[in-house]
Structure 1
Amino acid sequence: MTLHSSHTIYAESFFARNATLFSPYLAAAGLNQEVLHTPGLEIPLSQYVELWEILGREVSPSIGLQVGLRTKCHELGVWGYAVRCAPTMQLALHCMSHFIEVLTQGCRIQVEMAGRSVGIVYQITDPLIIQCRQDAEFSVACGLSIIREITECANLSPVRVEFEHGAPADLSIYNELFECPVLFNQADNRLYFNEDFLDMPVRTSEHRLFQALEAFLEQQRIKRAGSSDLLHGLLRHIADSLSRGSPSIEQVAVTMNMGVRTLQRRLADHALDFSQLVEVVRRSLAENYVSRTDYSLTDIALLLGYTEASSFSRAFRRWMQITPQQYRQQARIEALSVGA
């Protein structure tokens, strides 16, 4: 049982637009060249994010920022066109947040008022995806590019930018691109603008086209959300509970505000087994922690609900047929050889 492809993102014309950049590294992320020529193709979110991390290692540590700032609405399918056509800034922001699942599952965009500022929040919510710096930087920079496009204000800058990942050694490109304070190790990824930003006109507005696109997007949103809500909720609550030990179905039902029998019935309706889900979450997180972080095996064991590192190591060997140490060493060798 695998859940790596439970959340997806559409290729749209974005992949074709960046074919020269993406093509040499697709195979390393488990993708094939078809994504460059098939806008309607659904790509597993985990592989899409991994592609960005590979590009960050092999091309440039600021690649997400660079590509994000040159990305345009038309590259992002119906979602992008609808944002561009929105009659007002408030409707454009609502469209960005409410319909993001039509473009990509497993993430959220949220608009919040914070004092006299407007915050645009982006975050991957898929609990199985751990390393996502490049995706976060691409998405924040892309958000700024879209706002500049629809306002036709190329020099528009936020008043503050926040990222949930740690600060890189060289911060010069952040200062150059955003021209405002940039903070790291924050709760999520955010662009902040002054409150009068909401009154800025949308210069690219096409009201009648927006009405048609909005109706279509709502249909697609319901379809996309309905296929993933239960599984996504279960994965998140199981992952959140692991550091406190192996979660029970009773514990997870309580955190989901659901009766145990109701949860059992819904699992049965989707042919899902709770104990298998716990095992899959542990295995997926274990692969990520071992191959993409420097956490000690003891720390990883505790994060996954094991009381001893030896218990974790035995489970990992059962899953992967090699030890965690061997798996980490292989992952580092593969990372060095990508693009060679």
Structure 2
Amino acid sequence: MSIRASMAAPSCHTIFAESFFRRNADLFAPHLAAVGLDEKILMSPESEIPLSQYVALWEVLGREVSPSIGLQVGIRTQSSDLGTYGHAVRCAPSMKLVLRCLRHFISVLAQGTRVGNEDDGKSVALSYQITDPAIVQRRQDSEFSIGIALNLMREITLCPELRPIRVEFEHAAPIDLSFHREVFDCPIHFDRPDNRVCFSRDLLDMPVRTADTRLYEALEPFLEQQRKHRATATDLLSQLGLHIASSLGSGSVSLELVAGSMKMSVRTLQRRLTKHGLDFSQLVEGIRRSLAEDYVARSDFSLTEIALLLGYAEASSFSRAFRRWTHSTPKHFRESHSGQLFSDTAIGG
């Protein structure tokens, strides 16, 4: 179990490696360099991994290993792989506290993400979504996270046959749904507002067989301390990301422009950036790169149109920046991603 006395403020949204990377070292190791990650994270649970690189790693695995790799790994991931966050979920003395723990403490494990739970009187839903606006291609992470949610419910109830009544994903439906149907055995819907797994409301009455009240009470204050520390930076990064992304087309994204759109003074914004160790120009560059890769890979916009959307005056300037980011021309990048095919309509399983 990983206990952290203090954490340095990140310059971007991050996720902790925890035991998860070590246990999946053979899967991840051959592909880390493709997204700029070092192999040392495989044996260092304390490593903070930029969320954008973590999600990009999943997308590489989806292309190079298996189109359903996220779900394949998620459905076998256990609470012990998720550090203190996972241990608290496992130890929570009631299903109500399990759901609160999943929702309230997610930023301790992963910033720039949101977990929710809803009760409509007939069913209970666990939802998940990345809130970082710069991360657009994220199918594998979504399926991985919903797979984890289902497996955690099975683990803590000691009920391996537990099945959801409905599953939803925000991405378009993959062509091959055979593994999804095998795992969930329920209707599966795509192109939805977020990702969620829904259970009968009877879930709330199921006992938590792995509960350890004393350990949960010991872990909760620590998690709350870390949540406050991480959530403050998460909120600022999310706000900045949205305002930067919406300002890119203006041609010049300045601190003054973003501060004005956030309705605060330049001095106040600069002070908040300094407090959290954030570099404004690096944030702009990261968001511009992420959106550029998505536009090139998944849209039919011309290079000139993409350049204008991202604030470049000329397509040639955009192409030079794109080669610097990806070591590939936009044309070759688009061709290499042309195999990421999805069906055009949502499919119910």
Q: Note whether the superposition's TM-score is higher than 0.5.
A: yes
Structure 2 residue 54 is the aligned partner of structure 1 residue 48: yes
Q: 2:310: which partner in 1? A: 304
What do the CA deviations read for 1:42-80 (whole angstroms, capped 9, x no partner)? 111111111111111111111111111111100110000
Q: Assess, with a 3 A threshold, how the Cα gap between structure 1 residues 29 and 251 changes in structure 2: closer, same or farther.
A: closer
Greater RCO, CA 8 A, separation 6+: 2
Q: Which residue of 2 aligns with 1:112?
A: 118
**Alpha carbon RMSD of aligned pairs, Å?**
3.1
Determine the structure 1 residue equivalent to 2:226.
220
Go from structure 1 to structure 2 and tell me whether the alpha carbon gap of 1:30 and 1:253 turns closer, same or farther (over 3 Å shift): closer
Match of 2:104 in 1: 98
TM superposition score normalised by structure 2: 0.82
- 1:328 aligns with one of 327, 330, 337: 330
1:118-169, Cα deviation, whole Å (9 max, x unpaired)? 2211111111111111111000001100111001111111111011111111
- Of residues 297, 300, 304, the one that matches 1:295 is 300
Alignment pair present for 1:78 and 2:57: no
- Return the offset for 1:25: 1.5
Q: Does 1:169 align with 2:171?
A: no
- Deviation, structure 1 residue 177: 0.7
Contact 2:323–2:329 under 8 Å retained in 1? no
Stretch of structure 1 that moved more, 79-88 or 316-325: 316-325
Among 302, 313, 316, the residue aligned to 2:315:
313
1:144 maps to amino acid: L
- What is the one-letter code of the residue matched to 1:295? D
State the one-letter code of the partner of 2:110.
T
Structure 1 length-normalised TM: 0.84
User: Do residues 141 (structure 1) and 147 (structure 2) align?
Assistant: yes
| Alpha-carbon distance in 1 for matches of 2:259, 2:321 | 27
Q: Report sequence identity in percent.
A: 58
Aligned length: 328
Q: Is residue 313–residue 323 contact of structure 1 (8 Å, CA) maintained in 2?
A: no
**Partner residue in 2 for 1:231:** 237
* Structure 1 contact 237–252 (Cα < 8 Å) conserved: yes
Q: How far apart, CA to CA, are the structure 1 residues paired with 2:151 and 2:255?
A: 44
SS at match of 2:56: helix
- In structure 2, relative to structure 1, the CA distance for the partners of 1:204 and 1:279 (3 Å cut) is closer
Moved more, 163-172 or 22-31: 22-31
For 1:270 and 1:259, how far apart are their aligned partners in 2?
A: 17
Change (3 A) 1:272 1:207: closer
CA distance in structure 2 between the partners assigned to 1:67 and 1:276 by the alignment: 32
Query: Structure 1 residues 267, 68: closer, same or farther in 2, change over 3 A?
Result: closer
Deviation at 1:15, TM superposition (A): 1.0
- Give the C-alpha shift of residue 318 in structure 1: 5.3
Matched, 1:128 2:103: no
- Alpha carbons of structure 1 residues 299 and 122: separation in structure 2 relative to 1, 3 Å: farther
Secondary structure, in 3 states, of the residue corresponding to 2:18? coil
Quote the Cα distance in structure 2 between the aligned partners of 1:253 and 1:199: 48
| CA positional deviation for 1:315 | 3.7
Q: Which amino acid is 1:188 matched to?
A: D
Deviation at 1:322, TM superposition (A): 7.1
